Structure 1
Amino acid sequence: MSHAPETIGHALDGPEVAAFTVELKREFDTEAHRHPRGQMIGCSRGVVTVLTDQGAWLVPAGYGIWLPPWQLHGGRSFGPGAGWTAYIRPDRCTELPSTPRTVRVPALLREAILRAASWEDERTDAARARITGLILDEIRGLPAEDFGLPMPAEPRLQRIAQAILEDPADGRSLDGWAAWAGITPRTLSRRFPRETGLSFTDWRHRARMMRALEMLAEGASVTAIAFDLGYASVSGFIARFRQSFGVTPAAHPIVPGLQSPVRPDR
């Protein structure tokens, strides 16, 4: 495309879909920002974590994240990586998902977006219109995957969640976290699933698993990850990882050197 991605992201006119490829030789951080176009971000190598005001979303290789127009978001990559992004004009987002979601990217959608990324200008013709329509149809029907970590809205619960994200290895009990935040254990155990859809224990486990994937992408050993995340044994960590993703850490496609993402059996 003839414009920079950040310019296209703020464009209310122009092409319905503007796509770009990205090659990352090192990790990056982006500050929280928003733009009027919807955005689909896909990861073909490495891992990206996208932070929104609604939660944290992990995007490993073979997956993508949909962000609706004006969604506040920032991001960070882990290890060298590659991927693509597609900006959708706001008037074409009305039938697309209204909340962020992590999705498995079908080969058809990936190839259509890569084709759009190869266009060197913004002209429109029948062939491009068909590809644009295909991209929108594919995004519209994608089911959400379990790589999101919803954030609670209640300030005390949010404080607990943020502390766990900053230090997933913190092994405090539910009672300990409740006392730290000035909330009763009963309120914590009842409100956490009401606001996030996950029990407090399951939320903390998912936070640890998301961090485990980030560390795997950075090349950390399974032993180091297990103890850095507060597990009492490597075998206990591997069992939890297999329960979450259907494969052991060493067999996960996110591990450097494994090129083809494999959908784990669930």
Structure 2
Amino acid sequence: MTMDVSKLTKLSPIEIGYIVNPALPVIPFAMEVHRAGCAAPHAHPRGQLIFASRGVMRVICSRDIWVVPPSQAVWVPPEVEHEVYFPGDASLRNLFIDQSVSRVLPNECKVLKVSPLLRELILESVKVGDTYESDSAGYRLMMVIIDELRSMEPTDLRLPMGQDERLQRAMDFLLSNPGDKRAIDELAIIAGASSRTLARLFVRETGLTFGTWRKRLILQEAVKRLGKGHSVTSVAFDLGYGSLSAFIDMFRHALGSPPGQYVQAARQTL
């Protein structure tokens, strides 16, 4: 999960995010990126749907981490600080949404499942750009996008982080060693706390049990490695799974499709 961001191309905040204009409820943005990331955490008046139709993103928002495949998108509300990193090649198809309409969307960062309909709507919106006028076909398309976003189903790819130093030591170790299988009592020695205290810290500061948090970490790491071209078998066993079928079942349950289908989707471009 760790990433040397110093080796990534630095991207300045996208100026579209700072345009305040209710007459343009949605402004689409398309960009091809290669091993790049934000120059610094930033926020802007427009909400942002961060979507890579090809490639994997790592998004940090409000101390939470997401590793996001092409079947998912991250919603960032207006004025919420965030960072985005692309460890490989990615095709961005983002939507910047004016506050006049974004109030009907979640008020916190969420990962949303991108339906086939939304993918097509995003494709069409990129063609329209920001040249549409009120009550035009382009304007009506953008409002359909807002309606579709309201019905999107959230996913469990969020990996919440903690602030307690003991919890951070445990998390940092697991982030650097996502395939490590040691139990919580062994991890507690690294954290400098009893296993009972560490278990309470996970629930209190993340809302997840230790076991659930580690499963989400493994899922994020699997998404990242599959996006880099690693085989399903190598990813499964490197991340501590004793059987390939158990890994596939976990992946399908979390993302709605087996890892083989995910790999195919990751190579497609809108």
Q: What is the number of equivalent residue pairs in this alignment?
A: 253
Structure 2 residue aligned with 1:181: 191
Structure 1 residue aligned with 2:251: 244
> 1:135-181 deviations in whole A, cap 9, x for unaligned?
22222222211221122343432342233223313344312322222
For 2:20 and 2:208, how far apart are their aligned partners in 1? 37
1:7 aligns with 2:12: no
> 1:165-215 deviations in whole A, cap 9, x for unaligned?
233133443123222222221121123123323211221122012111111
Report which stretch shifted further, 170-179 or 203-212: 170-179
Q: CA deviation at 1:90?
A: 2.2
Within 5 Å, which residues of 2 pair with 1:15-164?
15-24=24-33, 26-30=34-38, 31-127=40-136, 128-164=138-174
CA spacing shift, 1:179–1:215, aligned 2, 3 Å: same
Structure 1 residue aligned with 2:9: none
For 1:120 and 1:205, how far apart are their aligned partners in 2? 39
Q: CA deviation at 1:79?
A: 3.5
SS at structure 1 position matched to 2:179: coil
5+ residue gaps in structure 2?
Answer: 1-11
> 1:113-154 deviations in whole A, cap 9, x for unaligned?
332222354442312331222122222222211221122343
For 2:207 and 2:247, how far apart are their aligned partners in 1? 20
Structure 2 residue aligned with 1:219: 229
TM-score, normalised relative to structure 2: 0.81
5+ residue gaps in structure 1?
Answer: 261-266
For 2:196 and 2:258, how far apart are their aligned partners in 1? 35
For 2:161 and 2:110, how far apart are their aligned partners in 1? 14
Aligned sequence identity (%): 34
CA spacing shift, 1:136–1:187, aligned 2, 3 Å: same
User: Quick check: 2:58–2:86 contact (8 Å CA) kept in 1?
Assistant: yes
For 1:174 and 1:242, how far apart are their aligned partners in 2? 24
For 2:220 and 2:245, how far apart are their aligned partners in 1? 14
User: Quick check: 2:111–2:154 contact (8 Å CA) kept in 1?
Assistant: yes
SS at structure 1 position matched to 2:90: strand
CA spacing shift, 1:19–1:256, aligned 2, 3 Å: closer
Letter matched to residue 167 of structure 1: N
Q: CA deviation at 1:19?
A: 0.4
SS at structure 1 position matched to 2:123: helix
> CA RMSD for the aligned pairs?
2.8
Q: Which structure would you say has the larger RCO, counting Cα contacts within 8 Å and 6 or more residues apart?
A: 2
Letter matched to residue 15 of structure 2: T
SS at structure 2 position matched to 1:254: helix
For 2:98 and 2:90, how far apart are their aligned partners in 1? 26
For 1:121 and 1:143, how far apart are their aligned partners in 2? 27
